[in-house]
Structure 1
C-alpha cells in the first residue's frame, strides 16, 4: 500500500490529470455552485507530490491546473467575443482557448519558481505562501486578472470573519494552508493539527461587525432595464433606453433618496444625455439624487467611462482601471480593424485619474467602482477609506446567461465584508443586488428581467483593519512563509 502511494506521488501523468481536475473543483467552489470547501481540497491535490517533480514538470502541472480552472470558470469570455463581439464561432473559440491558455501561464510560472527555489522542508508553509504571491502577480501584471482567487469562495465559509482583517489574500493564504496542512495530517504529521485548528477557530472570536451604522436609513432604488446589448447603440436602442429608464424612475415613490442607473444606461455621450437627465431631475423628490453610468468625452476629445448625477448630488467619477480589449486596445496600431471584436464601441476609453474625490449624493459620500473595478480589493479599500457606502455599476449583459455575473456578484459581496460597508450594485440585466456590511445579500433583482430594486441602507462609520492597511500585511505574511523553504537559506543553516 505504501509503495502504491509512493508511486502515485511520483507519476507526472497522473499528477497532470489531477491538476486539470483540481481546476474544475476550484470553479465548483465559487458562485453559483458555492462548494467553498473544494477550494482547499484542490490546493491539497496540487500540493501532493509537488517535490517529486522537476521545475519544468511542476510548471506543466500548474499550467494544466490553470487551464482546468479558467477553462471551466472563465470561459464565459466566449459569450463576449462571439455573441456580442461580432466574431464567428471558429475565431471566437480560438480566442477563448488562447485566453485560457495564456492566463493559465501565471500558475505555470508560480509552480516553476516554487519548485526551483524551494525544497520539501517547511513545504506546507512555503507552498501556501507561494500560492498567494502567485495570485498577487496575476492581480497586477499586464493590468491583472484577479478572477477566481482561492479566497473568494470563503465568504460563505466559517473563514469569512478573516476578510475584514486581511482581505481576500489572507483568505487565500488560509485556504492554501488548509489544503497543505490537511495533506500533512493525512500523512500522520499530527503537529499540523495545531495551526490548522487555530486558523479555523480564531474567526469564532473575531468581531462580527467592525463598523457602525448610522441611525438614519437611506432609501435606494437600483434600476435594471434588461435591454438587448446588440441593439443598445442603435438609434432604436437609444430610444428604448431613454423610455425604459425615465419610466422606471418616474414610478419611484416619494420617499426615495437615491436612484441608480447601471453602467452606460443611456448609450450615448453625456453631452447628449444631459437634457434627458435634466428632465428626469424635474420629477425627482426634492431630497433625491440620481446617479448613472455614462460615456463621457472631454474638451480634448478623450472618452471616459464615468458616473454622473443630477438632483441632490455633487461630483462625478471616471473609471480608473480599464478592461483590456473591452475599454482600450493594447497594441492598437496592430489590432485595430483586424477582428470585429477589437472594434467594440467602448474600446477607445481613457483611464480616469487616481485619487478622485468621492461622489456626494443624497447626503452620502460614495465610493465608486465601475464593473471590473470591483474585483480589485485594494482599489475598493482605497475608496472605502473616505466614503460611507460603496457603489458599483456594471453591464454584465456581456456575460450572457453564463456563470460570470454570479461570480462577479460574489466578489462584490466580498468587498462589502472586507470594508464593513454596504455595496449597492446596479446592472443592466443582473445581478442587481444590495450586500450588507457582512457581505450578505439583503435585496436582489431577478436576472434577465426589467426590475426596480428598492431597499434601505445605512451609512457606515469606522474602518475594518483591511480598509486601513489594504493587502500588504497579507503579502508580507505570504513572503515570510516562503522564506524557510528557500533552498539557499536552508543550505546556509
Structure 2
C-alpha cells in the first residue's frame, strides 16, 4: 500500500476531523450529535499514513492530526478571551491556536516515541503506541502550566456506560489505552487486506476480542449489581441552584444585590422541598469576604428560621490574614455557622493566575480579568465534613483532573460536588465537554456527583455515569434529587494512577534497553 505525500497529509487531516467529531461539539450554539464511536477509528487514517515512516516523519503527520483536532475541540477558548478577556479577535485566535499547537506538539511525541522504540527494540507497535499515548496524556495532567488534560480521546465515551465502568480500576488511562489499541489493530487489518504481511495478526485480533469482551462484561456486571450496592446506602436530598446570571453582570456592583436576592429566592424554594444540602455555583456569593468570618445571617442565603439540620454550599471569593485571594467553596449549616471552607487547589492558567508573570510581567495583559489567586493547601484540600458524611468540592477546572477527586474520596468523601461558572464560554463546546469530564470523576470513584453551574449544565450523575438530571443551558433552573452515599472505595480510589505510572515504567525500561543495545552494537540514530 503505497501512498503519496499528499495522500498522507490528507489522511492526517481526516484523523484530526474524526477525533474532533468524536468529542462533544457545539457549533454556533447548536450541539452536534454525539459521535463517540468515531474515536475507535479516528486514528486509523493517521496510522496508515505513518505506517512506514521514520520517527521524525511520524511526528510531523501526527502533529498535523492533533493540531487540527485541538484547534476544533478547544475553539471555545476564543470566546472567553475575546468576550471577557479584552483581547482582539486576532489576538484571541492566535492565542487559541498557540494553545492547540502546544497540546499537539506534546501529544505527537507519543507516536514519535513509539516509532523510535519500535525500531530500536523490535517491540510491537500495537503495544508501544497505546503505552506511549497514555504516558503523554498523563503528562498533560501536569504540564504545561500545571496541566491541561482537556479533550482527550476517552472523553468521547462518556455516554457509553457499559464501556467506561473499568475506569474504576485503571482510571481513564485504561480506556485511552484500549481506544488506541483498537485503532492500531484496525490499521494493521487494513494493511493486511492490501497484501502487507502483519506479524501475529490473528493473535492480536484474538487478544483484542478478549479485551472487548472483558471490558464489556465488567461493565454489564457493574450495571446489574449497582442496585444491590446502593440498597440500604444512606441517601441525601440535594438541591442545585442555577441562577443563569450573565457574566457581564456577575461582578457589576449595580446587580450584586439583585444577584444575591435571586439566589436567596431559589434557595428558599429548595429548602421548602426539605432538601438536606443546597448548592450554589462557583463564585455565586457576590462579595468577597475574609476567611475569618465564622457565621452569616441564614436569611441571606434563603434558609428558613424553622429549618432543622440543613446545609448550604456556596462558591465565593475569600481572603486570608495575608490578603491572599482564594476561589473557595464555603459550607454553612442552617444557623449560618461556617462549618468548613475549601480553597480551589488547581487554578486556571491565564484566568486565575499568570504563569511566569514574575519573569514576564507583560503576560498580565493576556489574562481574563478574574484575579491573581492563590492555590489551596493544607486543610483546605480535605473533604468538607457534614456530620455523618463528607463531601468533596470540585471547583470548575478541577473536575477535569482525576487526581483531585480521587484524593478527596480516598480521604473519606462520599459525595462529589462540582461548582462551576461556564458563562465565560457562552454557547460553545466547553460546557458540553466540561460536563463529560466530570462524568468520569463519578465512575472512577463510584460516587454520586452533583453539579451546580451558573448558566448550565447543572446535573446529577449517578456512580455509574448516568446523567439522571440535567438543566438546559442559559436557563434559570432548580434541580432536586435524592443521591446515594456509597462508602466503599474503588481500586482506582485506593491505588490512584497505577496504570499510567506502569506505562511510564515500561517506556523507561524500553529506553534503557535500547540505550544498552545501541551502546553494544554501535548503531546510528534512527530519529529521522
Q: TM-score, normalised by structure 2?
A: 0.85
Summarize the alignment of residues 285-300 of structure 1 with structure 2, pairs less than 5 Å apart.
285-300=307-322
In structure 2, distance between residues paired with 1:57 and 1:414: 34
The question of whether the paired residues in 2 share the 8 Å contact of 1:335 and 1:342 is answered with no
In structure 1, distance between residues paired with 2:283 and 2:438: 19
Give 1:170's aligned residue. Answer: 174
Give 1:242's aligned residue. Answer: 260
Alignment size in residue pairs: 485
The question of whether the paired residues in 2 share the 8 Å contact of 1:218 and 1:457 is answered with yes
In structure 1, distance between residues paired with 2:399 and 2:435: 9
Alignment deviations for residues 359-405 of structure 1 (CA, whole Å, 9 cap, x no partner): 12374300111111111112211111111111110011111100111
Alignment deviations for residues 328-355 of structure 1 (CA, whole Å, 9 cap, x no partner): 0112246656675426132x00000156
Give 1:279's aligned residue. Answer: 300
1:199 partnered with 2:214 = no
**What's the CA shift for 1:487?**
5.0
In structure 2, distance between residues paired with 1:393 and 1:338: 28
The question of whether the paired residues in 2 share the 8 Å contact of 1:55 and 1:115 is answered with yes
The question of whether the paired residues in 1 share the 8 Å contact of 2:86 and 2:368 is answered with no
* SS of residue matched to 1:140: coil
The question of whether the paired residues in 1 share the 8 Å contact of 2:237 and 2:480 is answered with yes
Give 2:242's aligned residue. Answer: 224
CA separation of 1:13 and 1:339: change in aligned 2, threshold 3 A? farther
* SS of residue matched to 1:296: strand
Runs of 5+ in structure 1 lacking a partner? none
In structure 2, distance between residues paired with 1:213 and 1:459: 10
**What's the CA shift for 1:225?**
0.8
1:379 pairs with one of 404, 421, 439: 404
* SS of residue matched to 1:223: strand
CA separation of 1:234 and 1:427: change in aligned 2, threshold 3 A? same
Give 1:23's aligned residue. Answer: 16
In structure 1, distance between residues paired with 2:373 and 2:509: 42
In structure 2, distance between residues paired with 1:169 and 1:338: 33
Summarize the alignment of residues 136-215 of structure 1 with structure 2, pairs less than 5 Å apart.
136-142=138-144, 143-157=146-160, 158-186=162-190, 187=192, 189-206=201-218, 207-208=221-222, 212=230, 214-215=232-233
CA separation of 1:433 and 1:48: change in aligned 2, threshold 3 A? same
* SS of residue matched to 1:48: helix
Alignment deviations for residues 418-472 of structure 1 (CA, whole Å, 9 cap, x no partner): 1110011101101000100000011111110111111111111201111111122
**What's the CA shift for 1:477?**
4.5
2:499 pairs with one of 473, 482, 486: 473
* SS of residue matched to 1:351: coil
1:117 partnered with 2:117 = yes
In structure 2, distance between residues paired with 1:149 and 1:244: 37
Give 2:274's aligned residue. Answer: 255
The question of whether the paired residues in 1 share the 8 Å contact of 2:234 and 2:486 is answered with no
**What's the CA shift for 1:277?**
5.5
* SS of residue matched to 1:391: strand
Give 1:14's aligned residue. Answer: 7
Question: What RMSD over aligned residues (CA atoms) do the two structures have, in Å?
Answer: 2.6
CA separation of 1:271 and 1:67: change in aligned 2, threshold 3 A? same
**What's the CA shift for 1:51?**
4.5
In structure 2, distance between residues paired with 1:335 and 1:135: 28
Give 2:35's aligned residue. Answer: 35
In structure 1, distance between residues paired with 2:482 and 2:340: 23
The question of whether the paired residues in 2 share the 8 Å contact of 1:40 and 1:176 is answered with yes
1:448 partnered with 2:484 = no
Give 1:404's aligned residue. Answer: 430
1:81 partnered with 2:84 = no
In structure 1, distance between residues paired with 2:217 and 2:77: 41
In structure 2, distance between residues paired with 1:219 and 1:278: 21
In structure 2, distance between residues paired with 1:472 and 1:133: 12
